[in-house]
Structure 1
Amino acid sequence: MRLPLFPRAHVPAPLLAAMLALAVLPLAADGAGAQSTPLPFAGPSNPAQAAPGFVLPPPLAPSGRTAAAPPGATPGAREPHAVLPQAPAGKITLGVFAKFGADGAPVPRALTWRVFADTPEASGAFPLVAESTDAAPVFFLNPGGYIVHVTYGFASQAQRVVLGATSRREVVVLPAGGLRLQADVDNKAITNQKVSFDIFEGSFLQGRTSTQPYYRGALANEVIQLPEGTYHVVSTYGDANAVVRADVSVQAGKLTDATVHHRAAQIMLKLVKEPGGEAQADTQWSVITPGGDTIKESIGAFPTFVLTEGDYVAIARNDGKVVSRDFKVEAGKDREVEVVRK
């Protein structure tokens, strides 16, 4: 389940409390034709420094000594915060980082961290006390309870932390991966201007698809960071009936590449007085199936539609006259269809 992103503001108490009870649950289906590779991390190569309101720690404490290794840390380990810096007087050091799954690698960038006090104010909101876009930030906080919330694209996780008298190293398990979609027709890639993708949670094949898109209007080759699980992708080529559906699986720490294969073509219609003649302006067009279902309507001399392969009828209305022509669409064969006005 997706958790919402919050601006630098308070969060309603019931919502933040519910966040602590949520976990990202992997689904079971696998997307046909998809390939998974190690995830190339999106986001800036040098993440922005922490926002105003707190200070990132220096590498050494004022005394020249570093703090002892926090519980669970292994000196020399490749994970962040094997040794935490000394906190200023009256503060406790909290070092946080995220991992792709319990046994996954640390997430190196593209994270947003927010730390909330775990006690709501009189208004019922949990106050935001610190935030950072570092991959593994360190916070100097007062002793007490906090809610640590991290987002990675559309994936997010929240957990409660209680700070006592000693430094603490907190690992947030973030089961998330990336999805990169493409579409082609007759083995030729479709440009971004002509294709888009809507992503739904769940599996269409198993009848467990959400009714509202999780992400609408994704572009080809865009890397979308999502919670681990199964998603249903709806690829729309053009704006008529060239629509293809497929299930894909996103794995933690992996980039899933999926290509949707359309069987469609681009058709341009012309109303002419004779074959090869000049197109007639102000023509009203309807494209219907042989059974009479309307696929697309337009007005103009050169309407262009992307239609899935099959049989169609083009109906042209101009100057009080109506003419029609049957035509066939073959996948990948863009062409011009003339309707001769008799």
Structure 2
Amino acid sequence: MWLAGAASLPAACLLVAPAGAQNPFGNGLGPNLPAPSITGPGLPGPSLSGEEAALAVSAVLGAGERRLASGLAWRVYEDRSDGGRPAIVARSNEAEPSFRLPAGAYVVTVTYGYASASKKVVMSGQPQSERLKVNAGALKLSGAIGDTRIAPGQLSFSVFVPIGTNSEGRLVRSGVKAGELLRLPEGTYHVVSTYGESNAIQRADLKVENGRVTDATLNHRAATVTLKLVASAGAEAFAGTAFSVLTPGGDTIREAIGAFPQVTLAEGDYVLIARHDGQVYTREFKVESGLDRDVEVLAKS
């Protein structure tokens, strides 16, 4: 699917998640989920003695019955009624682990990428099994110029959770690679795509649906130009030249040093300044989307 500007592009395929995903949120939760309560009036704290029993846990995707078989991180916390800091009493990265726990109250959490779920459990010396529902989907991002795909190594994405009128209210993750499967809680996200290292940036609001992959291509309007300082048109470029690319208003967009550095720029008008052997040369140039070309500055007094 193709995207120019802000749009939502859910794909019709089910989410298939790679193993070993990590969740950077300190509380083990995705950006749209509140922190779980770890206290509860009337519930006893975990006992360090007493009869142990097995707690078998598993996770399913959303309201369906499809079990999640990889990419899970389980944690079991004591559920303290005195307001103290809870301790982790068990952990596992297996799909369906079984924990042996003394009688008492606990909070079981599972994280799946940036999504998570939690549940209170009271153990009374008898085996129990619990199934947690994780509301998650995924984003898979790429970029293009017109009908031409941009090489994945030239793209970088940042994903945000909008807060109020601020589309970039909370950063979920930066440095997301093209083609990477980013597992997220269902909801709306703001995506910023950067092509190259200058000002070729595209934004979009994308919706992640439970159990689906939102496969979106952000369409950039940009081109890559090769900067050269030459004695005459088509001549060999001078080595060691310092270049500055500015907007017509004088704002610096990019600086580079070399005989022919390459710079990716958004479509528009620019001023190029070249410095070599104590001399300064300038010219104006225009970037047209999809038109990669050389931009030469003539070294003449």
- TM exceeds 0.5? yes
Cα distance in 1 between the residues matched to 2:249 and 2:166: 31
**Residue in 2 aligned with 1:299?**
257
Q: Deviations over 1:266-290 (max 9, x none)?
A: 1011000111111112222111222
SS at match of 1:193: helix
Kept in 2: contact 1:33–1:259 (CA 8 A): no
**Residue in 1 aligned with 2:15?**
39
Cα distance in 1 between the residues matched to 2:158 and 2:271: 29
**Residue in 2 aligned with 1:110?**
71
**Residue in 1 aligned with 2:55?**
94
Kept in 2: contact 1:264–1:332 (CA 8 A): yes
**Residue in 2 aligned with 1:180?**
140
TM-score by length of 2: 0.81
Structure 2 residue identity aligned to 1:303: P
| Mapping of residues 1-342 of structure 1, within 5 Å | 32-36=7-11, 37-43=13-19, 90-103=51-64, 105-119=66-80, 124-202=84-162, 207-342=165-300
TM-score by length of 1: 0.72
Kept in 1: contact 2:267–2:287 (CA 8 A): yes
Q: CA deviation at 1:121?
A: 9.6
Cα distance in 2 between the residues matched to 1:300 and 1:121: 65
- For structure 2, the 5+ residue unaligned runs are 1-5, 21-49
Structure 2 residue identity aligned to 1:93: A
Structure 2 residue identity aligned to 1:97: S
Q: CA deviation at 1:225?
A: 1.0
**Residue in 1 aligned with 2:40?**
none
SS at match of 1:41: coil
Cα distance in 1 between the residues matched to 2:51 and 2:198: 65
Q: In the superposition, relative to structure 1, how do residues 157 and 130 fare at CA in structure 2: closer, same or farther (>3 Å)?
A: same
Q: CA deviation at 1:195?
A: 0.9
Q: CA deviation at 1:307?
A: 0.4
Q: Judging by fraction of residues, say which structure has more strand.
A: 2
Cα distance in 2 between the residues matched to 1:104 and 1:200: 30
Q: CA deviation at 1:340?
A: 0.9
SS at match of 2:107: strand
- For structure 1, the 5+ residue unaligned runs are 1-30, 45-88
Cα distance in 2 between the residues matched to 1:194 and 1:138: 44
Report how many aligned residue pairs link the two structures. 265
Q: In the superposition, relative to structure 1, how do residues 118 and 41 fare at CA in structure 2: closer, same or farther (>3 Å)?
A: same
Moved more, 233-242 or 35-44: 35-44
Q: Deviations over 1:97-145 (max 9, x none)?
A: 12222345322221111112223899x4323222221212222222211
